Structure formats: structure tokens, C-alpha cells
Amino acid sequence: MTTNETIVVVGGGVSGLTTGVVLLEAGLPVRLVAEEIPGRTSLAAGAMWGPYLVEPWAKVREWSLASLGIFRQLAEEGGAGVRMVSGVEAARHHVEIPSWSELLPDFREADSSELPDGFVSGHRFNVPLVDMPVYLDYLGRRFCDLGGEVEQRTVRSLDEVTDASAVVNCAGMGAAGLAEDTALRPIRGQHVVVENPGITEFFSEDTGLSPDLVCFYPHGDTVVLGGTAIDGDADLSDDAAAAKRIIERCAAVEPRLADARVIGHRVGARPTRPRVRVEADRHSGGGPVIHNYGHGGAGVTLSWGCAREVSRLIADGYR
């Protein structure tokens, strides 16, 4: 039941659902309001833990580390679509060790025998892989089991939410309109989902700033193949030609993927800005707003850390 202590979370993607769970677990009543549940971009993610396309590093480090601990625990418990999986990130040129490697105790340089043909450097590590349809379903159930309310509708403006002690803006790309944020831009991404021909390890190529990515993530019976990163493009329709090229690029690294049966296509728009925005603000009507958006290509990776920060801001009096 809604009370004037209720926190309204706008957004039903990984950010909104995780924030809702964390606030409910802190003892606060929560109503989640969203157009689409689960959020389309969250559903499209691969998803591998890894701080990709996000800044600033000091905060990203803290948020990623918090999520890493929780994903490890979820992988151990089972049932949430999270697994710890080993694999290789490789490049066709020499690459430096990434800054986030210090967060992964078993991160090491890959032997040349572990690199596909044509690759000259790479690293092996063990990370959480998240099967997003299963995981978002798990988060939704956890939210409802904790007593969270869900309302499916479009919010035109944050100040229309008047029956709440605070509004948390987890609207992904929707925040461009709701927070009038011109710094937020989409980076379109596409994945192809295939039946798993027996792949047990992830692979990811360091392609720098190229819009053509190469990665594959096994999730038991399926493998998610990627991908694309097209800056400024928010079109969410499937691109058949791009899907064909994704399969070809992945099959060049792992030939078993060439004839794997295609099960589906997923497209999303990474909500990207120069810095992830987790901060307290006020909407035009004067009510408190906590923003939690702009997670770029790492919204899953940052989800638990950012949700905890929202919870801290609310506990510190922004409600």
C-alpha cells in the first residue's frame, strides 16, 4: 500500500529493479513505475561483469566491486541466471593490462596457446556471466516477494509523482527527457542468441573504439553472440545484416558457432554519458529526486553498487 513514506523508482531495467530490491531490504516501502518491465536495454545485455564505456574510475571501481561480490554469491546459490565463467579477452595487437584487473584475483596473461589464430595478446580471468532474461525475472520476483508494488505506465515528468517521499530516476535513456539531460546519448548494441554447440568459456576481443565487437557468452543451453556499439543510434529494430556479420565474426574465432541454430536477436541502447549519474537533486516541483542512470555498457556491472549508493543518499536525508 502506498504511503507518503513510499519511494517511487522510475524504471524497470536492471538499475530500477536492483535499486528497488536494495531499498526494500533497507526497510523502505517502494513502488516501481515503468513503461516496460523488464527494460529492453537490460534484456539485451550479454552480460559479462566488466566496467565497459563508463567513468569516473574511482566510483566505477567501488560500484563494480560491490556488484562483483553479490554476483559471486548469486552464482554460488544458483537459480538467478548468474554463473562464474572462465574465458579469454584477446587482441590482434599488444594491449595493456586493464585497470579493473586488480579486482579479479585470478586475472593473468593468457598463454599463446590460449589465443585464437591472428591474436597476439590476451588475458584469462573468471567473471560473473549473467543470463539477463533469467536474472531480470529473478530480480522481479525478489522485488515482489519483498512487498514492492509495480505500476506499468509512462511517466511524463518527475514532478508528476506527488505521492512519494522521494523519486529515484532509473529510466536509462528515458532520463534524457525526464532529467532534461543533453549529456546522455545512446550507443546501440545488438546480440544474436544461438543454441549452445558445446561452448563453456567466454571470449571477448579488445576491439578498441570499433563499432564492430566480437564476443560470446555461454549461458548453459544458449550462447549470446556480440555485437555492435553504434554511437548516437537509438534504433531498437533488429538489423539482419548486422546479425549475419556478428555470427561470421564470432565463427571466425570459434568455428562451432557457424552453424549454431539462431534462437533470437536482442537490441538495446546503452545509456551513455561522460560520467554515470548517481546523485541527489530536486525536480521542478521541489520534491527530492535521486538520479541513477547513464551506466553505458556496464549497467549490470554497476547495478548493486549504484543501488547501494542510492540507498545511502536516502538514508542521509534525501527523502
Ligand X SMILES: Cc1cc2nc3c(=O)[nH]c(=O)nc-3n(C[C@H](O)[C@H](O)[C@H](O)COP(=O)(O)OP(=O)(O)OC[C@H]3O[C@@H](n4cnc5c(N)ncnc54)[C@H](O)[C@@H]3O)c2cc1C
Binding site for ligand X (CB under 6 A): 10-16, 33-37, 39, 41-42, 44-48, 154-155, 170-174, 178, 189, 191, 227, 268, 270-271, 293, 295-301
Q: Tell the smallest beta-carbon distance from residue 292 to ligand X (Å).
A: 7
**Residue with Cβ nearer ligand X (10 or 314):** 10
**Residue with Cβ nearer ligand X (28 or 48):** 48
Q: Tell the smallest beta-carbon distance from residue 154 to ligand X (Å).
A: 4
**Residue with Cβ nearer ligand X (69 or 255):** 69
**Residue with Cβ nearer ligand X (208 or 317):** 208
Q: Tell the smallest beta-carbon distance from residue 111 to ligand X (Å).
A: 25
Q: Is residue 214 within 8 Å of 199, Cβ to Cβ?
A: no
Q: Tell the smallest beta-carbon distance from residue 157 to ligand X (Å).
A: 9
Q: Tell the smallest beta-carbon distance from residue 94 to ligand X (Å).
A: 24
Residue nearest to ligand X (CB): 174
Q: Tell the smallest beta-carbon distance from residue 34 to ligand X (Å).
A: 4
**Residue with Cβ nearer ligand X (28 or 155):** 155
**Residue with Cβ nearer ligand X (112 or 154):** 154
Whole-angstrom Cα Rg for the chain: 19
